[in-house]
């Protein structure tokens, strides 16, 4: 009952916040197709949660239902929002423009697909401030993504605007790793992925100990995280669900770290979440900036705080994330920072491998712990 009440309350709140489109009596074919895609994602989420908890382990049903309801709420919110309904979106654009005093005519939608948005409209010629600020902000709030606005034609007192999804930046990554004593299996795992909403994630999870058990543990944690973020669940909520699942099923008192960076590519923001994770190195120009936070391992304490910090990015930035086996190989982190500056390369895969080789050399060839290095570059996409 609590699960059902929570879903209904969330939907009522979403509907109240929109205040534009009435509840739909039926779904169009685009929303139905999206719904079935999300059903597949639900299956993957449930499978990942089950594998993460493990066999013969018990967790509170409310914890599992909370994780599922977070994802379900986001899916149903999109169904009410009706992103793919052209008629609804036309009315929402007109209403949104009226709110900021802009009259629109001849709205022509070519694509409503997220990150592939494309439409045009004729408006009364606004002031430069309105054009660069409020119009863009209003449309971005409606479509929930960064947009690019071009002035196509100006005639008399009207102008034509071309609005498209903003896709000007990208993340390239490279990874290098080695298991303890040179083993192929490492307790460290990583995740680098792009989501439909324009964000990219980079994550390293270090399972307690080494070998197959630690590898599986950290791998499953990242898989659950990916599944939940794929539903646009807030990051802190996703981490909290994973932590609660681990805390309740942690009969062996095993923990793992989580080092997560979520990048809003078009708005140049990087959000870092660290649970018992090592320093992240941000190389910008001729300087190295260190991103450090405290935080307990996941599974250690019930209800532990989730540390986070935000950093603005500029094109050309390099992010170097690593597991504790790398940091522990150095008596002083300055040696690693110097090598980062000397190893800088457009080939992030080669740079990651060079940094790992140098780390092993610094440790005189001894690999006393799993080691992993992920190098990610923030770049502006070159237009052809």
Q: What pLDDT is recorded for position 382?
A: 80
Residue 82: count other Cβ atoms within 10 Å of its Cβ: 21
pLDDT tens column, 271-307:
999 998 999 999 999 999 999 987 888 877 777 778 8
What is the Cα–Cα distance from 377 to 145, expressed in whole angstroms?
22
Q: Put residue 78 in one of left, alpha, beta given phi > 0 → left and psi -120 to 50 → alpha.
A: alpha
pLDDT in tens, 321-354: 999 999 999 988 889 999 999 988 889 999 999 9
Mean pLDDT of 257-271: 92
Q: Which two tokens stand for residue 15?
A: 């509907």
pLDDT at residue 99 greater than cutoff 60: yes
Domains and CATH numbers, the chain: 2-81 (no CATH), 86-165 (3.30.980.10), 169-380 (3.60.40.10)
What pLDDT does residue 317 have? 96
Q: What is the DSSP string of 228-288?
A: HHTTT--HHHHHHHHHHHHHHH-TT---EEEEEEEEETTTTEEEEEEES---EEEEETTEE
Contact of 215 with 223, CB cutoff 8 Å:
no
Counting other chains too, the contacts that 209-216 makes at CB distance below 8 Å and 24 or more residues apart are: 209/254, 210/179, 210/180, 210/183, 210/186, 210/369, 210/370, 211/179, 211/180, 211/183, 211/185, 211/187, 212/185, 213/187, 213/254, 214/187, 214/256, 214/370, 215/185, 215/186, 215/187, 215/188, 215/189
Instruction: Please say whether the beta carbons of 297 and 326 come within 8 A.
Output: no
Beta strands, E only, 133-249: 147-155, 158-165, 169-178, 188-194, 199-207
* Model pLDDT for residues 192-232, shown as the tens digit of each residue: 999 877 889 999 998 877 778 888 888 999 999 999 998 88
For residue 327, the number of C-alpha atoms closer than 13 Å in the C-beta half-sphere is 12
Q: Is 47 helix (H, G, I), strand (E, B) or coil?
A: helix
What is the per-residue pLDDT across 144-199, written as a single tens digit (0 to 9) for each?
Answer: 888 888 887 777 778 889 999 888 899 999 999 999 998 888 889 999 999 877 88
Highest mean pLDDT among 37-41, 55-59, 148-152: 148-152
Residue 119: other Cβ atoms inside 10 A: 20
Q: Confidence band (pLDDT; 50, 70, 90) for 112?
A: confident
Q: Collect all residues with Cβ–Cβ distance below 8 Å to 130 and sequence separation of at least 6.
A: 100, 101, 102
In this predicted structure, which of 13-22, 198-207, 311-320, 375-384 has the lowest mean pLDDT? 13-22
Cα–Cα distance, 258 to 204 (Å, whole number): 6
pLDDT at 80: 59
d(CA 48, CA 350): 32
Q: Is the pLDDT of residue 131 over 90?
A: no
Structure-block tokens of residue 159: 């102008």
pLDDT at 201: 96
pLDDT over threshold 80, residue 36? no
Query: Rounded CA gap, 257 and 372, in Å?
Result: 13
Mean pLDDT to the nearest integer, 10-22: 47
Residue 259 contacts by C-beta under 8 Å, 6 or more apart in sequence? 203, 204, 205, 206, 273, 274, 275, 277, 278, 280, 321, 323
């Amino acid at each position: 009952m609590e699960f059902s009440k929570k879903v209904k309350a969330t939907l009522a709140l979403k509907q109240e916040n929109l205040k534009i489109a009435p509840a739909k009596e039926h779904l169009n074919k685009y929303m139905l197709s999206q719904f079935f895609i999300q059903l597949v994602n639900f299956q993957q989420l449930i499978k990942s949660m089950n594998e993460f908890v493990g066999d013969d382990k018990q967790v509170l049903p409310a914890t599992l239902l909370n994780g599922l309801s977070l994802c379900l709420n986001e899916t149903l919110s999109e169904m009410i929002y009706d992103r793919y309904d052209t008629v609804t979106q036309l009315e929402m654009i007109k209403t949104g423009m009226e709110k900021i005093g802009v009259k629109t005519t001849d709205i022509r939608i070519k694509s409503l697909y997220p990150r592939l948005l494309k439409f045009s409209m004729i408006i009364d010629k606004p002031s430069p401030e309105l054009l660069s600020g409020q119009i863009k902000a209003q449309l971005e709030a409606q479509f929930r993504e960064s947009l690019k606005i071009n002035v196509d034609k100006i005639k008399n007192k009207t102008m034509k605007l071309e609005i498209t999804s903003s896709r000007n930046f990208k993340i390239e990554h490279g990874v290098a790793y080695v298991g303890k004593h040179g083993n192929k299996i490492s307790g460290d795992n990583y995740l680098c992925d792009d989501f439909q909403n324009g964000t990219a994630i980079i994550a390293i999870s270090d399972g307690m100990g080494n070998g197959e058990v630690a590898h599986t543990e950290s791998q499953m944690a990242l898989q659950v995280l990916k599944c939940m973020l794929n539903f646009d669940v807030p990051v802190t909520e996703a981490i909290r669900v994973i932590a609660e699942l681990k805390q309740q099923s942690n009969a062996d008192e095993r923990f793992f770290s989580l080092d997560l960076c979520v990048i809003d590519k078009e708005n140049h923001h990087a959000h870092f979440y660290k649970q018992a994770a090592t320093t992240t190195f941000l190389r910008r120009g001729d300087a190295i900036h260190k991103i450090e936070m405290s935080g307990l391992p996941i599974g250690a304490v019930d209800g532990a705080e989730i540390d986070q910090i935000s950093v603005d990015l500029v094109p050309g930035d390099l992010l170097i994330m690593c597991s504790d086996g790398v940091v522990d190989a150095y008596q002083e982190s300055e040696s690693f920072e110097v090598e980062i500056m000397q190893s800088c390369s457009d080939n992030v895969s080669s740079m990651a491998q060079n940094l790992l080789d140098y780390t092993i050399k610094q440790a005189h060839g001894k690999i006393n712990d799993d080691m992993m290095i992920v190098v990610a570059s923030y770049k502006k996409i070159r237009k052809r």
